[in-house]
Amino acid sequence: MEKSLQRAPFDVASGPGDAKARSERLALTAGGIAALLTGTCCVFPLVLVSVGAGGAWLAHLRAFEPYRWIFIGAAAVALAFAWKRIYRPAADCKPGEVCAVPRIRRGYKIGFWAVALLLLFMAGFPYVAPFFY
């Protein structure tokens, strides 16, 4: 019975590393949402019209344009925090924490770069879009 109560060293479902994993996920999620909101004024109307959804209400998405830089800044801050948490040295991680598992570290790094590329695309789209019209 005592053996069943022990956790394996790679069990990251709960424990002290869980709060750190939650903060990494939260930072990546916040960065992703802010990156998506960055393109609300410009990319989303184009995508919606491309798939056949249209209407006068699409013009109201243009109202988000003044807030674009706020969304870019929020995404950059969230990604900076995520980068600090994800790319810290593995020596700082204790056994059993999320950052000590290579597969999970790799997943967070892939997620980080995916969100960073999304932010670059959404932030740069209004400047590149005139070349496609």
Give the phi and the psi of residue 37 in degrees, each rounded to 5: -65, -25
For 67-81, write each residue's pLDDT tens digit.
888 988 998 998 998
**Residue 116 pLDDT level (bands cut at 50, 70, 90):** very high
Residue 11: the pLDDT is 43
DSSP helix/strand/coil, 101: coil
Residue 20: the pLDDT is 66
> Residues 67, 72, 77, 79: what is their CA dihedral angle, to the nearest 10 degrees?
140
Average pLDDT over residues 102-111: 86
**Where exactly are the structural domains of the chain?**
27-39+69-124
For 3-52, write each residue's pLDDT tens digit.
444 444 444 444 445 666 777 788 888 888 888 888 877 777 777 777 77
The answer on pLDDT for 106 being more than 60 is yes
Q: CA 16: distance to chain centroid?
A: 23
Q: What is the sign of the dihedral through the CA atoms of 36, 39, 41 and 47?
A: negative
Average pLDDT over residues 103-117: 89
**Residue 129 pLDDT level (bands cut at 50, 70, 90):** confident
The answer to whether 24 and 86 have CB atoms below 8 angstroms apart is: yes
